[in-house]
Chain A
Amino acid sequence: MSQTNHIGKGPNRVDGPLKVSGTAHYSGEFNVPNLAYGYVVSSPIAKGKIVAIHADEVRALPGVLEVFSHDNVPHLAWFDKSYKDQIAPGGSPFRPLHEPDITFNQQPVALVVADTFELARYAAALLRIDYEQEAHETNLETKRAEGFVPGKGKTGFQPPPPPRGNPDKAWVNATHQMEAEYAHGAQHHNPMELFTTTVEWRGDGQITAYDKTQGVFNVKNYLMGVFGLGKDDVRVVNQFMGGGFGSGLRPQYSVFMGVLAALELKRSVRVTLTRQQMFSIGHRPNTLQVVKMGTNPDGTLAALQHHALHETSQFEDYTENIVNWSGMLYQCDNVKLGYELAKLDIYSPQDMRAPGAASGNVGLEVAMDEMAYAAGLDPLEFRLRNYADRDQNVDKPFSSKKLRECYQQGAAKFGWEKRTQEPRSMRANGKLVGMGMGGGVWDATQNKSAAKALISADGHLTVRSGTGENGTGTYTIMTQIAAETLGLPLEAVTFELGDTDQPEAPIQGGSWTAASVGTAVKNACDALGEKILKLAQKQDDSPLKGAKFDEVEFVNGQLRLRLDHDQAVVLRDVLQASGETQLEADSSATPNMAKQQGYSMHSHNVAFAEVEVDEDLGTIKVTRVVSAVAAGRILNQKTARSQVLGSVIWGLGMALMEETIMDHKFGRYVNHNFAEYHIPVNADIPHIDAIFVHEDDDIVNPLGVKGIGEVGMLGVTAAIANAVFHATGKRVRDLPIMLDKLL
């Protein structure tokens, strides 16, 4: 029996004790000596020019160190490319404090730095700025006719595939048809932790930035480019992030401001955004979608058309994959997908949990429900009749796809068979009851990552990789992988992350961390294992003499022959006998392109939701959700379940609560705080079941993991919207579904 098989079990988080005791340090919690505080001043207008900044008035206050604005910012990098981060979309990135022009409301226009936070805030409130206002446009509706097809877009963006078959004719000739338009407003990530940077001035132009980010290397490269810093001048650290959800994929203006002030004042500086300012750093864009579907007499899809238009800023063409998924989730030979952007006087949108997919999924999966009703079919039966065994977008088989099992296990757990098809046909507790479903698909991606493994003579293993931990469980799963690879208990392993002094890892996002960094960690531990084997074989009378690496295994603190477990040595004895104080190995991992090129690699899910609607009040209560996920191998049952539960709650928020409301008169988000931007609270949470459908896949990566951060959110929003229709007979096509839309 092995006690050192950790993968797939559900140990507690290794960073749990730090997080529950207030001893995990987030970016704003490095209280370095002689710290000054910066407070950002935001523009109250959406478009125009700064005419004057009366900075001298507040500069005169004792304790105020400086007021930074376009008036006095020193010469920084000139070309756009210096400001482009790893995932910048096409266009010209926003340059904070660069020019007097205002291009979006809440644009940061000044940074007041003072000896204390209270003083900086006070001075910022007093800072008078005169603006010349110009007419702005923030309403996507007015730009419907001005949509344009974006160019190359950011890394990971795939333009929709060209049409296949004859989608127009097939739709016209279909037995049953549907056509509908779907909309949702802007949504903001709103991680609980505010964007914060503590910049430690190390002297001699060198700094360490403790920054809230999902990618320390991305931030480091950005800072080097913008401020002309050398590799050794800047170190970026993030060991704990208080939630990201995509908001920390790109460097935010908080880190720009903090570094600017630290370099100019030659002093450590902290800059923290307010919750209100958290609505000026990117968002899921306001999106309009049109879906048309038609069926054949046997209930198979005859035609599918999906078009999306969303907002972007005047300066960048933010792109996401909204409609592409509609060409691959169901079997259909006549498909047309369209994708356009429209420019508004707003800040650039930014990837937010399941970017693109979460939006497109609502259009597709609510339309599937509408189509099922039009064709007189049960929504689950309709999906089964249109099951895709191949990815028709790229005409390749899936590396693995257990969506059918998700349907079966999810429906069984939920009790879908008890549902009666007719809307308004189910009641309980004096309320209308509705049951709905939706499913989704997300990419299984692996990106190049590196890791270093070190083992000390006492047998303690340390593994490092500059990835991130924003709640996904990175510390824990990497510890499990490392410990299992070298046959150690979890306590004998420390995983370190979030530091640009460590081997480089990609930005943490896209659900690729487990696959990417996990594989690098495994490779580094294997490389270290080979060194340990060589050491063991050097010893006299070694029972492992002549054994090749693939003939041995590391289990329970021992190194032994796979085929003869009695031929074993104790790991610690080997290390101690060798006289080495420490052994180390570096390795990296890249996707196995040769193996993967013939396949489409994706995770899938399905969600079933039950709602109760009070017809008199229009209130909606989600009572139950079952989410079944097929995402390859699950590394940690406990943290994976938490990710899926959290995703379901995100889906619930998107369905019923979340919307950042723009007052078009002022071009300003008006509910930019937690009292008015509603997210689910404990009392809103239904009973949730998460099911992981077993899926083996050795094509995606050696660990067989696909990632679960995004896929669990798909399907949920549509399932709830469809359940509301089933309960009430009212089809609400603009999210969130609030009570006024039902009355």
Chain B
Amino acid sequence: MSQPLTSTPYTGGVPAPVPTGPVRLHINGETRTLQLAPWTSLLDALREYAHLTGTKKGCDHGQCGACTVLVNGLRINSCLTLAVMHEDDDITTIEGLGTPENLSPLQQAFVDHDAFQCGYCTPGQICSAQGLLNEGRAHSEAEIKELMSGNLCRCGAYVGILDAVKEVVDKESSDVGA
């Protein structure tokens, strides 16, 4: 048996790509104007154009959470949104939360609880958790597990992730109570 499989009929000349234009983003408190094609995802804009590679690409389809960043304080899958839709938005990436010398409480809790192995899902996990904290959500263990379930971790560091987030959530709520 032999049957041909021919691609979509050729209609003569492929359409030229849409030209690039400037997009202004406020990333980690710094204003950056990037020259981008309109179909550039926020994730690719961060990684390939702003050279902020802390935000990771695990699927490019909104299925893994590795690309989670905070846009105006809210959690978002940066692969599922175009950079041009964020003109003048405030974007916080993992690099904006802390540095190796000056880790944020969540980052330090992740280190202390060994809440990662390869570390590739980790920036997304931390940004998600930071989003939960910002939103005042996730108080019980069950809530944290449920709300952190949009962030896949193939290394299976979930136990440490839960413990790390819980430590910071508990600490923040007791600080508020005090």
A243 & B53 in contact (Cβ 8 Å cutoff) = no
Interface string of A156-190 (1 = CB under 8 A from B): 00000000000000000000000000000000011
Say if the beta carbon of A429 comes within 8 Å of chain B. no
Q: How far is the CB of A152 from chain B (nearest CB, A)?
A: 32
Measured between alpha carbons, how far is A58 from B54 in the docked complex, in Å? 33
Name the A residues within 8 Å of B6 (CB-CB): 130-131
Interface-located stretch among A114-122, A326-334, A374-382: A114-122
Asked if A192 meets B95 with Cβ closer than 8 Å, knowing A57-B10, A128-B8, A134-B2, the reply is no
Say if the beta carbon of B98 comes within 8 Å of chain A. yes
Measured between alpha carbons, how far is A135 from B146 in the docked complex, in Å? 45
Q: Which A residue's beta carbon lies closest to that of B38?
A: A118
Measured between alpha carbons, how far is A649 from B160 in the docked complex, in Å? 13
Name the A residues within 8 Å of B57 (CB-CB): 28, 194, 272
Interface-located stretch among A90-98, A637-645, A699-707: A637-645
Name the B residues within 8 Å of A16 (CB-CB): 110-111, 114, 116
B55 & A245 in contact (Cβ 8 Å cutoff) = no
A17 & B100 in contact (Cβ 8 Å cutoff) = yes
Measured between alpha carbons, how far is A48 from B100 in the docked complex, in Å? 52
B159 & A20 in contact (Cβ 8 Å cutoff) = no
Name the A residues within 8 Å of B145 (CB-CB): 682-683, 685
Interface string of A646-686 (1 = CB under 8 A from B): 11111000000000000000000000011100011111110
Asked if A679 meets B100 with Cβ closer than 8 Å, knowing A54-B10, A472-B117, the reply is no
A31 & B154 in contact (Cβ 8 Å cutoff) = no
Task: Specify which of B54, B97, B108, B119 lies most central, judged by the most chain A CB atoms within 10 Å of its CB.
Answer: B119
B5 & A48 in contact (Cβ 8 Å cutoff) = yes
B60 & A19 in contact (Cβ 8 Å cutoff) = no
Q: How far is the CB of A210 from chain B (nearest CB, A)?
A: 12
Say if the beta carbon of B112 comes within 8 Å of chain A. yes
Name the A residues within 8 Å of B59 (CB-CB): 275, 673-674
Measured between alpha carbons, how far is A62 from B15 in the docked complex, in Å? 11
Q: Which A residue's beta carbon lies closest to that of B14?
A: A126
A12 & B114 in contact (Cβ 8 Å cutoff) = yes
Interface string of B146-178 (1 = CB under 8 A from A): 101111111111111110000000000000000
Name the A residues within 8 Å of B156 (CB-CB): 645-650, 680, 685
Measured between alpha carbons, how far is A645 from B116 in the docked complex, in Å? 11
Say if the beta carbon of A149 comes within 8 Å of chain B. no
Measured between alpha carbons, how far is A651 from B164 in the docked complex, in Å? 23
Asked if A645 meets B154 with Cβ closer than 8 Å, knowing A25-B53, A242-B118, the reply is no
Say if the beta carbon of B25 comes within 8 Å of chain A. no
Say if the beta carbon of A68 comes within 8 Å of chain B. no
Say if the beta carbon of A241 comes within 8 Å of chain B. yes
Q: Which of B44, B54, B117, B152 contacts A118 (CB 8 A)?
A: B44
Name the A residues within 8 Å of B153 (CB-CB): 192, 682
Measured between alpha carbons, how far is A694 from B158 in the docked complex, in Å? 26
Q: How far is the CB of B85 from chain A (nearest CB, A)?
A: 15
Interface string of A1-28 (1 = CB under 8 A from B): 0000000000011011111111111101
Q: How far is the CB of B16 from chain A (nearest CB, A)?
A: 7
Interface string of A95-138 (1 = CB under 8 A from B): 00000000000000000000011110011001011111111000
A190 & B7 in contact (Cβ 8 Å cutoff) = no
A683 & B146 in contact (Cβ 8 Å cutoff) = yes
A17 & B111 in contact (Cβ 8 Å cutoff) = yes
Please report the total number of A residues contacting B with Cβ < 8 Å.
84
A192 & B56 in contact (Cβ 8 Å cutoff) = yes
Interface string of B1-24 (1 = CB under 8 A from A): 111111110100110110000000
Q: Which of B55, B98, B154 contacts A192 (CB 8 A)?
A: B154
Measured between alpha carbons, how far is A243 from B66 in the docked complex, in Å? 13
Name the A residues within 8 Å of B99 (CB-CB): 21, 23
For window 234-279 of A, CB contacts with B under 8 Å fall at 240-245, 272, 274-275
Measured between alpha carbons, how far is A646 from B93 in the docked complex, in Å? 27
Measured between alpha carbons, how far is A126 from B12 in the docked complex, in Å? 12
Asked if A21 meets B103 with Cβ closer than 8 Å, knowing A128-B8, A194-B58, A641-B114, the reply is yes
Say if the beta carbon of A584 comes within 8 Å of chain B. no
Measured between alpha carbons, how far is A194 from B120 in the docked complex, in Å? 10
Say if the beta carbon of A577 comes within 8 Å of chain B. no
Say if the beta carbon of B78 comes within 8 Å of chain A. no
B58 & A21 in contact (Cβ 8 Å cutoff) = no
Q: Which A residue's beta carbon lies closest to that of B120?
A: A242
Name the B residues within 8 Å of A116 (CB-CB): 37, 48
Measured between alpha carbons, how far is A439 from B55 in the docked complex, in Å? 39
B4 & A61 in contact (Cβ 8 Å cutoff) = no
Name the A residues within 8 Å of B158 (CB-CB): 645, 649, 680-682, 685
Asked if A681 meets B98 with Cβ closer than 8 Å, knowing A134-B2, A471-B119, the reply is no
A134 & B1 in contact (Cβ 8 Å cutoff) = yes
Name the B residues within 8 Å of A194 (CB-CB): 57-58
Using a CB–CB cutoff of 8 Å, the interface residues on chain A facing chain B are: 12-13, 15-26, 28-29, 31, 44-45, 48, 51, 54, 57-58, 60-63, 116-119, 122-123, 126, 128-135, 189-194, 240-245, 272, 274-275, 470-473, 638-639, 641-643, 645-650, 673-675, 679-685, 688
Using a CB–CB cutoff of 8 Å, the interface residues on chain B facing chain A are: 1-8, 10, 13-14, 16-17, 37, 39-40, 44, 47-48, 51-61, 63-64, 66, 93-95, 97-101, 103, 107-108, 110-112, 114, 116-123, 126, 144-146, 148-162
For this complex, 13 residue pairs linking A to B, each with C-beta atoms less than 8 Å apart, are A20-B107, A21-B95, A21-B107, A26-B53, A54-B7, A118-B17, A129-B7, A132-B3, A190-B154, A471-B116, A471-B155, A647-B156, A682-B145
Top 4 nearest A-B pairs (CB, nearest first) are A22-B54, A242-B120, A471-B117, A19-B119
